[in-house]
Structures are given as structure tokens and as C-alpha cells.
Amino acid sequence: MKGLLSSLYGRISAIFLVLLLVLSLAQLLVGVQSARTFSRESDQSLNRRLAADLVQRFEPALAGGLHRDAIAQHIYDMMVFNPRVEIYVLDADGRVLAPQPAQAGLARDRVDTAPIRAFIEPPGPLKLPIYGDDPRSATERKPFSAAPIRIGGQPGYLPFAPMLRGFG
């Protein structure tokens, strides 16, 4: 081995091998990140219509105001169909109304509504994925889908997002 690295051919071969390994690792990292971004963008784009459809299911329970038991049942029903989805009801200021933060183990009781508004009414062409605050974490942000909803005549939002733990 020592004789191989002492020759010019051996050193060039070793440098080429190291460069090949480094570039392969870089290609792998870029590929994984691109696939992850594409997956999140696709999910967010495909779920855009689903968010509007969910509003039709939730609005009757919210017409007279916030009825937590009815909303909790709707959220439970939706999560039975797709257990990888988290659904929230927010007021216009981003306060989590349902599920109740204390009962749902949420780390935040309020989220920033700017990404939600940008998703619902983009100022220009919609560039996905858009990341918003994750109520289950004090620091994480993740892609979501959302639609406006009326809560007892007041504006609010119905965002939902895939659970990314272990997948993201």
C-alpha cells in the first residue's frame, strides 16, 4: 500500500477516489433534499382543494359558534380516515381554538397567520411549499394546506398538515 501511494499514479488514483466519494455524497444529499421538497410541494398542491372541501364539512358545526365537542368529533373522524393528518381550527389572529391546546398536547396556542394568508390569497404566483408554524412544536415549521372558515360569523382558518415526524 505504501508503494502504491508513493507513485504519481497511486496519488492521482487516491485523489480521484476521494473526489468521487465526496461528489457521490453531495449528489445523494442534493437528491434526498430535492425529493423531500418535491414531495412537500406536491402534497401541499394536491391538498389545496381538500382544505376547501373540509370547510364544507366543518362549517355547519361552527355556524352557531365554536362547539368544541362537535369539532373534536369531526377532527377525530378525519383522522380515522387519514391518521397522518393534523387538523386545527384557528381564529383570524391564529389562536388555536380546536383541538384545545391543553388537551391536544400542543406546544403553541397561537400560530403566525401570514403563511396561511399567503397560501389562501397569494400576492403573486403561488410558490410551494409554504411553511407555517407547527402547533405541536415551539420551533418547527412545516408545510400545510388551509382554507378560510367562518366561526359563528367570524373569520377563521382551517389548516391541516401531515405529521412529519419520522417522515420529514
Which residue in this structure is represented by grid cell 362547539?
67
**How far is Cα 19 from Cα 22, in angstroms, rounded to an integer?**
5
For residue range 59-78, what is the model confidence (pLDDT) as tens digits? 887 877 777 777 878 788 87
For residue range 109-156, what is the model confidence (pLDDT) as tens digits? 899 999 999 999 887 788 888 999 989 888 999 898 899 999 888 899
Cell numbers linked to 21? 466519494
What is the reported pLDDT for 128? 86
Asked if 159 and 133 touch (Cβ cutoff 8 Å), the reply is no
**How far is Cα 158 from Cα 98, in angstroms, rounded to an integer?**
10
For residue range 26-47, what is the model confidence (pLDDT) as tens digits? 999 999 999 988 988 888 887 8
